[in-house]
Homo-oligomer: A and B are copies of this chain.
């Protein structure tokens, strides 16, 4: 049978990466948390870079087909959805990541934020390759949905939206804890994502300057 060293490393790594970022998490910290030898990361994954990608891959392999599926369903029911309806197709796929790993949704969105935020060239490339098809489809649809913007305006809006999503997700854990303490709200990633969808959709739909 396959050793579970690989999984122990992946599990420890994703937790530490989500919490402290990729650059600020050393292989020594990971292997110590995973209770495995330092050298096993390079043995099983080749390098730290490839470990980072493997951590993300576990989630992307579930998320991407799921988004694709939800897009198909949504378009079958409704040929011309609103912006918010389109954005909402992302919610279920994201929540399905809780079946990949305990607390998977929150962990993944944090990792996504880190990946987008930290200046790791290889990650941007890796994401593009893996997101590629599905994200391209999503972008294609959104162009038909968001009303009356020039190409340049839409370009900026989309990147604002991407920024909002990624950044908020990266800090979601910390913010959730503050919100829980100050407003007696349970931290519920589903709830946060829905608030985020509302906010982003309104921003996308704003009249052009």
A interface vs B, CB < 8 Å? 20-21, 23-24, 117-119, 151-153, 155-157, 159-160, 163-164, 166-168, 170-171, 175, 178-179, 182-183, 185, 192, 194-196, 198-209
Contact = CB atoms under 8 A, between A and B. Distances in A.
A27 B24 CA distance: 18
18 contacts: A20-B119, A24-B119, A117-B170, A152-B182, A153-B195, A155-B182, A156-B196, A156-B199, A157-B195, A159-B168, A159-B171, A160-B168, A160-B195, A195-B209, A198-B207, A198-B208, A200-B203, A203-B203
Contact of A23 (B23, B153, B196, B203): B23
Contacts of A21: 118-119
A183 B23 contact: no
Contacts of A201: 206
* Residue picked from A21, A157, A206, most chain B C-beta under 10 Å: A206
B160 A199 contact: yes
Contact of A203 (B155, B166, B194, B202): B202
Contacts of A167: 117, 163-164, 166-167
A23 B204 CA distance: 33
Question: Quick one: which of A152, A160, A183 has the most chain B CB within 10 A?
Answer: A160
A88 to B, nearest CB: 11
A185 B23 contact: no
